[in-house]
């Protein structure tokens, strides 16, 4: 019987490999506190086991299947793809802070962290919205 409190080793490796490649692609780093990055990658792997999709583990979902169908919170989430802003603090700068430079005015990330520069602005995951 599968231990539901831990993800499968296969999905932990899959998520860890993906996260490492995504850091290289975006020019960002994993959070410098290993406990933070491990907690998020473990949560992503658990959701991969449960839902067959890497749903962000840092949010509460009244209906996880609906959240998967909506795709906004699949890792990398919509804010990460558009603005390089990671709510989970998995993808951050060297100091462990989330990039807020590309966020629109009034976004919660800017309000919480201020203006934090992107260490690799030439490596946007995709084009910024107009």
> In this structure, what token pair is assigned to residue 114?
């201020």
Residue 56 is a catalytic residue:
no
**Per-residue pLDDT at 128:** 52
> In this structure, what token pair is assigned to residue 108?
């919660």
pLDDT, mean over the chain: 93
Counting residues of the chain whose pLDDT is more than 70, the rounded percentage is 93
Residue among 58, 75, 77, 88 flagged as catalytic: 58
Residue 36 has pLDDT above 80, yes or no: yes
**Per-residue pLDDT at 125:** 74
List the one residue out of 99, 75, 71 whose CA is nearest residue 85: 99
**Per-residue pLDDT at 4:** 62
* Domain locations in the chain as residue ranges: 9-113
Provide the sign of the torsion angle of the four alpha carbons 106, 89, 42, 124, taken in this order: positive
Report pLDDT digits (tens) over 74-119: 999 999 999 999 999 999 999 999 999 999 999 999 999 999 999 9
> In this structure, what token pair is assigned to residue 71?
């795709």
**Per-residue pLDDT at 5:** 79
Q: What's this model's pTM, rounded to 2 decimal places?
A: 0.90
* CATH architecture assigned to 9-113: Alpha-Beta Complex (3.90)
Report pLDDT digits (tens) over 15-31: 999 999 999 999 999 99
Counting residues of the chain whose pLDDT is more than 90, the rounded percentage is 90
């Amino acid at each position: 019987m599968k231990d539901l409190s831990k993800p499968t080793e296969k999905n932990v490796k899959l998520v860890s490999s993906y996260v490492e490649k995504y850091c290289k692609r975006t020019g960002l780093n994993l959070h410098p506190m290993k406990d933070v990055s491990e907690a998020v990658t473990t949560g992503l792997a658990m959701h991969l086991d449960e839902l067959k999709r890497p749903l962000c583990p840092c949010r509460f979902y009244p209906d996880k299947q609906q959240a998967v169908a909506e795709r906004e919170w699949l890792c990398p989430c919509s804010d990460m793809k558009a603005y390089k802003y990671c709510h989970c603090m998995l993808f951050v700068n060297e100091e462990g802070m989330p990039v807020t430079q590309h966020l629109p005015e009034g976004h919660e990330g800017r309000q919480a962290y201020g203006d934090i520069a992107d260490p690799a602005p030439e490596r946007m995951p995709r084009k910024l919205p107009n």
